């Protein structure tokens, strides 16, 4: 009946995995993508993934960028971060240092995105290793509250809360895009008194 009707393009939500090496960024990504726990994913390999999912009744595409240390080069890292619409900031509950490192990732992301309300979840992974816990739920929750973001514990091994973190983040990206009237979403900065926004307000029109 409605043959020939052009379909609206699929909405794409761009997610970036950040966190120290070894916390389970790749394991979480691969568990979400393929329902498998991959124990020996190449630690230095960054890769991107895409998948169509149904988010609250709407078919959308999720693009996931799984970073892997190249972020040490500031220029590469900033490019990655700039392209992201939402961030899963992962640490391992078994490694205090990885929890401390989340401060640096948060700072780097805010510097690039200039937006305190960027969709962002603090993720405490490896919750199946409770006996090796070094980061208390209280400490993690306190940091998340300070940042005004959710804190969720996951296990890439048992799949606990894996879908939840990706879907919750997509919901928060969707809300953000609805609040920002620019069709591209993501590109506009909400001007919350940063003062830097006067630079480079050029528009690029493709003819």
Q: How far apart are CA 51 and CA 64, in angstroms?
A: 9
Part in contact with ligand GDP (CB under 6 A); list of ranges 25-33, 53-61, 138-146, 195-203: 25-33
Nearer to ligand GDP, 55 or 160 (CB): 160
How many residues are present in the chain?
207
Please work out the total of residues on this chain that contact Mg ion, with binding judged by CB under 5 A. 3
Q: Is 68 in the site for Mg ion (CB under 5 A)?
A: yes
Within 106-145, which residues bind ligand GDP (CB under 6 A)? 125-126, 128-129
CA distances from 10 to 7, 33, 42, 92 (A): 9, 18, 31, 34
- How near is the Cβ of 65 to ligand GDP at its closest, in Å? 12
CA distances from 116 to 59, 198, 204 (A): 28, 18, 26
Buried b / exposed e over 163-172, threshold 16 CB at 10 Å, is eebbbbbbeb
Q: Is 20 in the site for Mg ion (CB under 5 A)?
A: no
Part in contact with ligand GDP (CB under 6 A); list of ranges 22-30, 136-144, 175-183, 190-198: 22-30
Q: How is residue 117 annotated by DSSP?
A: T
Q: How far apart are CA 43 and CA 41, in angstroms?
A: 6
Nearer to ligand GDP, 140 or 185 (CB): 140
Residues of the shown chain interacting with Mg ion in the complex, contacts defined by CB under 5 A: 25-26, 68
Residues of the shown chain interacting with ligand GDP in the complex, contacts defined by CB under 6 A: 19, 21-27, 39, 41, 43, 125-126, 128-129, 155-157
């Amino acid at each position: 009946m409605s043959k020939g009707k052009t379909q609206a393009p699929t909405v794409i939500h761009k997610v970036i995995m950040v966190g120290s090496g070894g916390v389970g960024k790749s394991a979480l990504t691969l568990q979400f993508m393929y329902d498998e726990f991959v124990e020996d994913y190449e630690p230095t390999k960054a890769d991107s993934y895409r998948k169509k999912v149904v988010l609250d009744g709407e078919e959308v595409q999720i693009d996931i960028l799984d970073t892997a240390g190249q972020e040490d080069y500031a220029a590469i890292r900033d490019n990655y971060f700039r392209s992201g619409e939402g961030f899963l900031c992962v640490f391992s509950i078994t490694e205090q240092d990885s929890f401390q490192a989340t401060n640096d990732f948060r700072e780097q992301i805010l510097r690039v995105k200039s937006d305190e309300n960027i969709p962002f979840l603090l993720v405490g992974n490896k919750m199946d290793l409770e006996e090796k816990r070094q980061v208390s739920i209280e400490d993690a929750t306190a940091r998340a509250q300070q940042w005004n973001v959710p804190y969720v514990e996951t296990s890439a091994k048992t799949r606990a809360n894996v879908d939840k973190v990706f879907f919750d983040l997509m919901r928060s990206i969707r809300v953000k895009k609805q609040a920002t009237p620019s069709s591209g979403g993501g590109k506009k900065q909400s001007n919350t008194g940063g003062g830097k926004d006067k630079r480079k307000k050029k528009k690029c029109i493709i003819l």
